[in-house]
Amino acid sequence: MAEFEKENLNELFERFVDSRSAGEAAEDIEKGEAILREYAAPEPSMKVLAKTKTMVAEALKQRKKRELRRAVYKVVAVSAVFFIVASIAVKVFERGPVGSEERLAAFVIPNAVWEGDDIAADDADIAVLTAEVNQIADELLALRLGDNGTNGQGGVYDAEMELIEINSDFWKG
């Protein structure tokens, strides 16, 4: 080790430890370098080098195959998505305008209901049911307030029976 390098090494170690420990550490490093110079690492044989090069070449070939496969899979996936979107678009454009289809789906409800603002007034069945519900609500209010001259017990029972009858008639059709 050159004298200049030895001084720089001593200065470096003195920043971390005292001067005596720095000198010992520098000597240890110098002895280690001398041992490494004396016993150089052996070079691998030509057979080992050739085998290593073959293994690296094979690994590179496999990597290129995987990359090619991955690229092909991506192209196939994008093509499949494009094909699906195109087929859906063709089917949507074949159907025609959406408004006519909505009108066909709602043919069960009369046109007057769709055109009017008050559905209950436009549909007779709904109007009858609305009137009956309002009548029952009025009767229950009268029973609560005691306006009908009874104590309220029999009237509530009668109102409940009438409500049950209306519900059963409604579901029968």
Domain ranges (residues) in the chain? 3-38, 111-172
Q: Token digits for 166?
A: 């209306």
Q: How far apart are CA 112 and CA 49, in angstroms?
A: 92
Check: CB of residue 45 under 8 Å from CB of residue 36. Answer: no
pLDDT at 44 over 70: yes
More confident residue, 118 or 138: 138
More confident residue, 106 or 79: 79
Q: What is the pLDDT of residues 72-93, one digit of tens each?
A: 999 999 998 888 888 888 887 7
Average pLDDT, the chain: 77
Q: Token digits for 57?
A: 């070449």
Q: Is the pTM of this model over 0.95?
A: no
Q: How far apart are CA 87 and CA 82, in angstroms?
A: 9
pLDDT at residue number 105: 45
pLDDT at residue number 106: 46
Q: How far apart are CA 9 and CA 22, in angstroms?
A: 8
